Structure 1
Amino acid sequence: MVCQTSSGTKVPSRISTGYYSKRTRDGRNMSRMCRAFWMAPFDPSDPAVDESSNKDPTEGPKFECGIAPAHPGLRIIGGQATWKGKWPWQVALLNRNREPFCGGTLVAPGWVLTAAHCIRRRLYIVAGEHNLKKRRTREIRVLESHIHPEYDVETVDNDVALLRLATPVAFDESIGAACLPDKPLPVGSLGTILGWGKLNDRAVNGSDILQEAQVPVTPQEDCRQVYAEYFVSENMMCAGYKRGRIDSCAGDSGGPLLVQDKQTKRWTVHGITSFGEGCGQRFGIYARVVNYVSWIKATMATL
């Protein structure tokens, strides 16, 4: 079911962490009250964002961003498994029960970039792992969650959040930070998406092994045509294929869309997996990170 807004633009009656569907992307069934707007997608038993702070984690020395180990060369939908250390900035978000349900990207030793709709009262992250079935040796509590002040739960516009870690991670061969963009990503660019989400629309659980896939960035007008019933703002970008094939899916929300600079070979996070229609059916929609770099830097600098 889709709720109708007063302006005539349809908004999803249910949210999914990665895509709109009958179930949320973290596996929870949600029911919505349809008025003139879409109700907030939070669990009644877990309603608030924990922004308490009892210590001030230091960021440590300057660090290099976007440097990944050399590797040859993608399951998300139509992708392939990765190997340990290949994507050192990828983290898994865990709920209060230590269950993975979203992804995120390290952008500094003490900070993770993710989707606003992934935020819960109590969160943990796992860094430096690609197989979540193995013992999690680097599980860190999230100290504070900072949702973008203009996040709109009706349209999922500005679907961006920063997580401040209780203890900054130590960078090594399997943990590092992705770079933030300094310019928009051109249409046609080939991006890499990552996640531990479902491998197909019929799967019950996500993948234990981190998956990767490559998707092209599509023109905004094509995206709006395909998603004519939804609001697609300039803070969003589409990537993938009109008829699906390769896509992010349930459990991939909050994870990155990355592009490697051809000259410097550094990886930059240009998108945050936000929503879409099903899995592998239409374009995926991602928060456009370049629009939030000032807010990201200001938030990290003031704490």
Structure 2
Amino acid sequence: KSPICIVVVSVPFSVVCGQRSSAVTNITQPRSRIVGGSPAPLGSWPWLVNLQLDGGLMCGGVLVDSSWVATAAHYGPSADVVMEAKVPLLPQSTCKSALGKDLVTNTMLCAGYLSGGIDSCQGDSGGPLIYQDRISGRFQLHGITSWGDGCGEKGKPGVYTRVSAFSDWIQTEIQSKFQTTRNTSGKGSSQLKI
């Protein structure tokens, strides 16, 4: 089984892939999960989604196309507000040393500070690890929040699914479903920047 799920959604608003919106509203007193982060201004990450079942939040995810969401293959309790934090990517050798060489595979990557204090946590599963391309300025999906050993613990970085390890599969899934959708509806678009 793949550690990434992709689902079809309907997006009722227009966003430009990889570009942040200007935000004017900030939410205070959040029930947050990200350790050491700050509330993200409302609308500042327009490609974030929450997936619900019977009106209750299951998990977060990230748009990888106008109608497709990538998320973790597991769900849990979530926060009331989107939080954001900047964390460095860590070398794979550091990740394996910190968390166990048998636990961290090549389809995973680690991000965070070995000193602790800033990290994703339970309830953040499915959310994106993104980076801003230095040349284009656009944001790109690099990882999907997966697991960790505690939250913000010293010597224990967060673990993310390495999206590049699954990009061919994601593209194939979107294209195969897109072909079916386009053939039956006569319209549609499919772009993915991962």
TM over 0.5: yes
Q: Are residues 1:214 and 2:91 paired?
A: no
- Contact 1:243–1:283 (Cα < 8 Å) also in 2: no
SS for the counterpart of 1:78 is coil
Q: Unmatched 5+ residue regions in structure 1?
A: 1-48, 119-196, 198-204
Q: Are residues 1:264 and 2:121 paired?
A: no
Deviation track 1:46-102 (CA, whole Å, cap 9, x = no partner) reads xxx9x9xxxx9999xxx8520112469xx5100000112100000112233x22232
Q: 1:57 to 1:82 in 2, by over 3 A?
A: closer
- CA drift of 1:243 comes to 3.6
Q: 1:230 to 1:245 in 2, by over 3 A?
A: farther
- Contact 2:22–2:43 (Cα < 8 Å) also in 1: no
- Tell me the residue number matched to 2:18: 66
> Structure 2 residue aligned with 1:81, among 39, 52, 67?
39
State the aligned residue count.
Answer: 160
- Tell me the residue number matched to 1:110: 67
> Structure 2 residue aligned with 1:292, among 157, 166, 177?
166
Question: What letter is aligned with 1:68?
Answer: R
Q: How far apart in 1 are the matches of 2:78 and 2:60?
A: 12
> Structure 1 residue aligned with 2:105, among 225, 233, 239?
233
* Aligned ranges 1:1-303 → 2 under 5 Å: 64-70=16-22, 76-96=34-54, 98-118=55-75, 206-228=78-100, 230-281=102-153, 282-303=156-177
SS for the counterpart of 2:168 is helix
Instruction: Compute the RMSD of aligned alpha carbons.
Output: 2.9
- Contact 2:51–2:57 (Cα < 8 Å) also in 1: yes
Q: How far apart in 2 are the matches of 1:84 and 1:90?
A: 11
- CA drift of 1:207 comes to 3.0
Q: How far apart in 2 are the matches of 1:206 and 1:295?
A: 28
- Contact 1:95–1:101 (Cα < 8 Å) also in 2: yes
SS for the counterpart of 2:90 is coil
Question: What letter is aligned with 1:83?
Answer: P
**Structure in which a larger fraction of residues adopt helix:** 2
Q: 1:57 to 1:99 in 2, by over 3 A?
A: closer
Q: How far apart in 2 are the matches of 1:265 and 1:229?
A: 34
Question: What letter is aligned with 1:66?
Answer: G
Q: How far apart in 2 are the matches of 1:295 and 1:88?
A: 24
Question: What letter is aligned with 1:99?
Answer: G
Q: How far apart in 2 are the matches of 1:238 and 1:297?
A: 24
Q: How far apart in 2 are the matches of 1:289 and 1:260?
A: 15
Q: Percent of pairs identical after alignment?
A: 42
Q: Give TM-score, length-normalised by structure 2.
A: 0.73
